Structure 1
Amino acid sequence: MEGITRVKSRKFAVRIVRLYQFLCNDRNEFVLSKQLLRSGTGIGANLAEAECAISKKDFLSKIYIALKECSETLYWLELLKD
């Protein structure tokens, strides 16, 4: 059974990809949307890496990077909204 963070981060990444496609195709927005795509999909990627960490320090590092990706994603979403 998959963990809740894996499921939620994957669903979030799918939503980010769809938003990216909409922004590119319908709004002709390519710069900010690319940054959003990278940070929004990076959350789940770092959580997946954390699952295979070789030490507690490595695990915490990957989790913290995922948290930073969350913060960055929020920044891009707010900038796109404004």
Structure 2
Amino acid sequence: MQEKNEYVLSKQLLRSSASIGANITEGQYAQSGPDFHTKMSIAKKEAAESLYWIRLLMSSGLVPKERIADLHDDCEELVKMLVSICKTPYKRNFGTF
């Protein structure tokens, strides 16, 4: 049962974390400022979701905290960066539109 729970949580983490990179990559090739902002906002949401799954894994005891502490810290930092990017006006991120 524990292996199944760990698998389910890990699978959710994989999905949300893969989406972060996909949306950031799409944002790099955005067609406009609003398009860039949309992709970065989605990446921010996915990063926040990934952080949730990491915290759940840590608190569940399914994975030792020490094993994923660095991942947790990196994900928190990524969320902060994406929040900052999303707060920055379009013209500074993409140019005028």
AA at the equivalent of 1:32: L
Query: Per-residue deviation at 1:64?
Result: 0.6
The higher-RCO structure (CA 8 Å, 6+ apart) is 2
Aligned to 2:41: 64
- TM-score, with length taken from structure 1: 0.64
Residue identity (%): 54
- In structure 1, C-alpha distance between the alignment counterparts of 2:7 and 2:50, rounded to whole Å: 15
Is residue 80 of structure 1 aligned with residue 57 of structure 2?
A: yes
- Runs ≥4 residues deviating over 2 A: none
Aligned residues: 56
Is the radius of gyration larger for structure 1 or structure 2? Answer: 2
In structure 1, list runs of 5 or more residues that go unmatched: 1-26
Task: Give per-residue Cα distances to partners, 1:13-49, cap 9 Å, x unaligned.
Answer: xxxxxxxxxxxxxx73221111000111111110000
What RMSD in Å do the two structures reach over aligned CA positions? 1.2
